[in-house]
Amino acid sequence: MTAVQRVVAVTPNPAVDVTYRVAEQRLGETVRVQEVIRRPGGKGVNVARVLAALGVPVVALQPVGGPTGDLVSAGLAQLGVEAVLVPSPVETRTTVAVVDDLSHPTLLSEPGGHQPPAVWDRLVAAVARLAVPRGWVVVSGSLPPGTPDGRMHDLVAAARDAGSRVLVDSSGPALLAAASAGVDVLGPNAAEALEATGTTGLDAAAEALLDAGAGTVVVSRGGDGLTAWTADRSRLDQPAVPGVTGNPTGAGDAATAGLVAALGRGATPADALREAAVTGAAAVLAPVAGEVDPDVLAGLADRLPTSGAPPLPTTPRTR
C-alpha cells in the first residue's frame, strides 16, 4: 500500500463541544452534572483528531471567531493537531452533548453565524494552498446559516484543481452542491441522504446523488453499518462491529476518518468500508467525540461479521 498523503479536514461551521456526563437524563428536571469536558469540535475537527491518532498527516482548517474561537484554537494546539485558522468576526458556536449510560445522548447544537464573503474567500484560498496531489480534502458538517450553495462548489473545485480527492459529509442543499461539483465521495448518514434527495429508499437516494455527479456514495447507517454505491452502481454492504456500546457521538466522523485513511493507502472499497466500520466502533468506546484508541482497532477488526479484517494502519501514531 502507498503512503498516505496529507489530508485537509475542513470544518466550515466549527464549535466548542461541551460534554455533560450525568447519572440519568431527565427532561424538565434539575440534573446534576458529574463531569464536564470541553474540546474543539465540529465534524471536520473530529475527523482531523481521529486521523492524527491513526498516524495520518492531517491539517484541520476552519474559520474561528470570538472567545469560543480562541478555545478551538487553544484546544487544537493542546491536542497536538496541526491547524490553520481563518479569522472571522463571527463568534464560533457551541454544541452540548448530555450523556449517561442509559440512553442515546441528547445533543444541543447551535446553528452558528453567517460568515461574510471575505471569510469564505480566505477559506477557499487556504484549501487551494494546503491540498496536495493524491491527497484528500474532507469537508465535514453543516454550512453556516445563509451560506450560498456555490460555496461548497468552490471548496470542492479548489481541492480538485490542486490534485486532491474530495470527500464531503454534509446535508441538504450542500450535499447536492457537492455532488454537482463532481465530488469523489459523498458520506452522508441515511437520514441526510433521504432528506437531500427527497427519496424514500437508500438505493434511490444513492442513485440520485450519483446521477447528480458524485463518484461514490457511502451512507452511514449507525448500528446497522455502512453501505457504498460506486459509479458503476455496484453496492457494498458492511455490517457494524457487533456488541459495541458506549457514546455514539462522533462515531460517523471517526468512520469517515477510517475510510479516508484506507483509501489514502490505496485500499479497495471493501477494505476501506471495513476499516471505516472498525474506526467508528472504536469511537463509540471513547468518552467524547473525536477520539479513538488505536490499540483497540485490531480486536474490533477481529469481530467484524465479514470474511476477513481490514489491513489496519501500521504508521507511527501521534497523540
Q: What are the residue numbers of the active site?
A: 253
Q: Which three cell numbers stand for residue 128?
A: 487551494
Amino acid making up residue 245: T
Backbone phi and psi for residue 48, each to the nearest 5 degrees, phi listed first: -60, -40
Residue matched to cell numbers 480566505: 122
- Which residues make Cβ contacts (< 8 Å) with residue 190, sequence separation at least 6? 202, 219, 220, 221, 222
What is the spatial distance between Cα 75 and Cα 85, in angstroms, rounded to a whole number?
Answer: 12
- Which residues make Cβ contacts (< 8 Å) with residue 61, sequence separation at least 6? 8, 9, 10, 11, 44, 83, 84, 86, 123, 126, 127, 130
- Which residues make Cβ contacts (< 8 Å) with residue 62, sequence separation at least 6? 10, 11, 12, 14, 42, 44, 45, 72, 83, 85, 86
What is the spatial distance between Cα 47 and Cα 96, in angstroms, rounded to a whole number?
Answer: 18
Strand order in the sheet with 93-99: 33-41, 15-22, 93-99, 106-109
